[in-house]
Structure 1
Amino acid sequence: MDRLVNTVRPYAWGSVTAIPELLGQEATGEPQAELWMGAHPGSPSRVDRGSGPRSLAELIAEDPTAELGAAAVAKFGPSLPFLLKVLAAGTPLSIQAHPDLEQAKAGFADEESRGVPVDAPHRNYKDANHKPELICALDEFEGLCGFRTPAAAADLMESLGAPVLAPLVELLRNKPEAEALSEALATILSLTGAAATAAVTEVAAAVERAAAAAPGGEFSAYAYAAREFPGDTGLLAALLLNYVRLQPGEALYLGAGVPHAYLRGIGVEILANSDNVLRGGLTPKHVDVPELLRVVEFRGGQPDVLRPVTDGAGEQLYPVPIDEFRLSRFVLGPEPRRVDGDAPQILLCTEGAVRLAHTDGSTLTLARGESAFLPATGGGTELSGPGATVFRATVTL
């Protein structure tokens, strides 16, 4: 078992206090957005096996079978297929969507062939992998997820009483679903110059009025986004999406092509080992409208809020339709719980303290905010610590 030393990513949208509080550290006054746990080359975790800190990515590359197990290497290749994060949004993240595996491979190959530097601000595809993800709320967590039905989006826009939205309302009410959503998003993202400024100003004032009339609801979230990103046409795009408020322990799964944006809150996020993002607003970063429209799935409906399914061993699983990652948690009582060691896994303690005892006799105690990597040795690990909450990230073999 290896205690992980992890990197905090200081993106501008990050909370100043949430991650320091989780880690029991003093806030620096700067945003701290994501705590990365895993072997992504962007910020791999580090471990010390007696000869000084080493990158987990390097250790896995030196002997994938010893670290990941033969079954995982055969199924996913010689690298850790998931990345675990603590995500803390102090301000909204961009509206975004992620490509499926074939789109990612094609997009990455195209940009490589054209010589687009991988760190270029206009680069869309950082790697050739897809990026399905799951976010589980540690505290109340607000976000936007998936398209509303065209009728529901039209109703929302109409309720604002903003004349500039009338053409979108008509479009949404009179076209088939996929066509209506696609044309509405394309229309919004094509606004530029004075027309964009006027439209966003009018809609921002309308959502502020609606939020004042019904404080604490979804209009408050849209007003918040408008204040954080003044003049950004992403505000209009946000009205096409479902507003979701997760309670602690609830989760959302986001597959390829699902437009979404996290607004505020802290959660545990797990995703395939990728950094491919196509943005659609609420951001100063590059927005590639044609590529976004090509990747997005134009289908309306309510998102499924996931609640964990508990098995007989006390493991609370968040079921997802892919194998690259599997997220579960243990809320420990007086009885210890056991996890097997057939696959690579990361354990993250988010409440209390947990003692890990491996069948080889080694032990490790994790405090709140600490994490450990457990190689696929085949041995089991016992978890104990009444009152502790432990998230387990692994794969499905």
Structure 2
Amino acid sequence: MEVLRGSVRTYAWGSRTHLAELLGEEVPSPHPQAELWLGAHRDEPSRLNGTDAGDRTLADVLAADPTGSLGPARRQRWSDRLPYLLKVLAADEPLSLQAHPSAEQAAAGYAREEAAGVPRTAAERNYPDPLPKPELLCALTEFHALAGFRDAAQTVRLLRALDVRALDHHTELLAAQPDADGLRALFTTWITLPQRAVDELVPALLDGCVALVRAHGEFTTEARTLLDLGERYPGDAGVLAALLLNRVVLAPGQCLYQPAGSPHAYLAGAGVELMANSDNVLRCGLTPKHVDVPELLRVLDFAPGTPTLLPGEGHGPVRRYTPSEYFSLARAAFSGGGEGEAELGLEGPRIVVTVEGTVRLRSRRGQTHDVPRGSAAWLPACDGPVTVAPVDGPALAFAAADGL
């Protein structure tokens, strides 16, 4: 077990308070802090600061001892890579609307772009690596998001409640085919509209949202969200696309899973995010970045339904969430009521981060390591099974591993 030091990413949508408070830094921070990265991502691997080993990156450690770090079977399965990336995310403003490819789509897209000679750092590159990017978010605060296509019949009700004449034709098209095919047709129509048409339709939509909010009726939350997005992203067809998505509010502790093809946008809040270690993103809108519409339409899953909230497994203070072979998340929550040690229940290479109080990790070999708030630890596969316990009061920590 070793201390692991992550890196903070500063994006415009981040928070000036949440990560600064977590890390014990000055509040407010000089710049919006969006994500704390913990892992071996090629762009910014975390660093280890062992008492006798100096300052190394986690990527260096994996390269020097892949068998001890990952374990023999996992080394083979993951080709000497750490398959996940753990983040603490803090959003004060909405992120872009996006989706991620499946494993098959990612491999094919990467091979296609490599063959075409598209530079991996090019703005129009969709697949900088051949891996999928499913992701999970566990809320630390009340967390707001758009996730997956809403039931089409319910969207028809929303469109009719908005009562926007310019949308009448689109509303009736979806009403005539309230299923995945109807959603695909309407989404495609909106995302491919000429800019002049978008510039006319979005303001009309926002006028309808104002009227709906004033009426205090059903879909008020959705209307407020569209007003916010329309103000932040004027002239963006993603505002129209957001009309079709589920509006989600997570309570602290709830976990939202984003499988391949699911359109989503995080709107506001703080959470622990765990994802496959990939950079493959297909953007749908709410961004000035490249939107590849044909490729996006190949990747998106238009099947309507409710977002995937994971119930978790386990009993006692530790709950585990394993929706993908690429990652598993354990949430260890201690009330300070005298709980003892609990099995972490994760194997292989693990990363632990504490967001409240202090936890003590103990391996079966008797090694212990305390992880206070805002700190993280690296547990290689060779450490074997580990228990977790609170130190002097309530504590909340998260551990990441693969899902094998």
TM over 0.5, shorter chain: yes
Question: Which residue in the other structure is 1:379 paired with?
Answer: 384
Q: Which runs of 5+ in 2 are unaligned?
A: none
| 1:4/1:371 contact within 8 Å kept | yes
* 1:67 equivalent among 61, 66, 69: 69
Matches of 1:217 and 1:189, distance apart in 2 = 23
Partner deviation per Cα, 1:102-150 (whole Å, 9 max, x = no partner): 1111111111222212111111112110001111100000001110122
| 2:347/2:401 contact within 8 Å kept | no
Matched, 1:306 2:313: no
* 1:145 equivalent among 144, 147, 150: 147
**Residue 290 of structure 2 aligns to a residue in which SS?**
coil
Question: Which residue in the other structure is 2:21 paired with?
Answer: 21
Shift of 1:81: 0.8
Shift of 1:95: 1.1
Shift of 1:33: 1.1
- Equivalence map 1:94-105=2 (5 Å): 94-105=96-107
Amino acid at match of 1:390: A
**Number of residue pairs aligned between Structure 1 and Structure 2:** 395
Partner deviation per Cα, 1:146-200 (whole Å, 9 max, x = no partner): 1012211111111111112112211211126222111111111112222111111
Cα-Cα RMSD: 1.8
Question: Which residue in the other structure is 1:344 paired with?
Answer: 349
Question: Which residue in the other structure is 1:174 paired with?
Answer: 176
Question: Which residue in the other structure is 1:388 paired with?
Answer: 395
* 2:285 equivalent among 273, 281, 284: 281
| 1:342/1:378 contact within 8 Å kept | no
| 2:148/2:264 contact within 8 Å kept | yes
Question: Which residue in the other structure is 2:234 paired with?
Answer: 230
**Residue 377 of structure 1 aligns to a residue in which SS?**
helix
**Residue 266 of structure 1 aligns to a residue in which SS?**
strand
Matched, 1:133 2:135: yes
- Equivalence map 1:308-347=2 (5 Å): 308-311=312-315, 314-320=317-323, 322-332=324-334, 333=336, 334=338, 335-339=340-344, 342-347=347-352
Matches of 2:25 and 2:154, distance apart in 1 = 44
Q: Which moved more, 1:208-217 or 1:108-117?
A: 208-217
Amino acid at match of 1:81: P
Shift of 1:230: 1.9
Q: Which moved more, 1:47-56 or 1:157-166?
A: 47-56
Matched, 1:293 2:294: no
Matches of 1:222 and 1:77, distance apart in 2 = 43
Identity of aligned residues (%): 45
Flag the 1:140–1:377 CA change in 2: closer, same or farther, 3 A. Answer: same
Question: Which residue in the other structure is 1:248 paired with?
Answer: 252
* 2:90 equivalent among 88, 112, 123: 88
| 1:69/1:342 contact within 8 Å kept | no
Q: Which moved more, 1:234-243 or 1:51-60?
A: 51-60
Amino acid at match of 1:178: A
Amino acid at match of 1:338: E
Shift of 1:363: 3.0
Q: Which runs of 5+ in 1 are unaligned?
A: none
| 1:340/1:379 contact within 8 Å kept | no
Question: Which residue in the other structure is 2:8 paired with?
Answer: 8
Amino acid at match of 1:12: A
Shift of 1:91: 0.9
Matches of 1:234 and 1:164, distance apart in 2 = 17
Matches of 1:227 and 1:15, distance apart in 2 = 19
Flag the 1:230–1:377 CA change in 2: closer, same or farther, 3 A. Answer: same
| 1:357/1:363 contact within 8 Å kept | yes
Matches of 2:211 and 2:377, distance apart in 1 = 48
| 1:12/1:31 contact within 8 Å kept | yes
Matches of 2:282 and 2:384, distance apart in 1 = 41
TM-score, normalized by length of structure 1?
A: 0.94
| 2:256/2:310 contact within 8 Å kept | yes
Q: Which moved more, 1:381-390 or 1:151-160?
A: 381-390
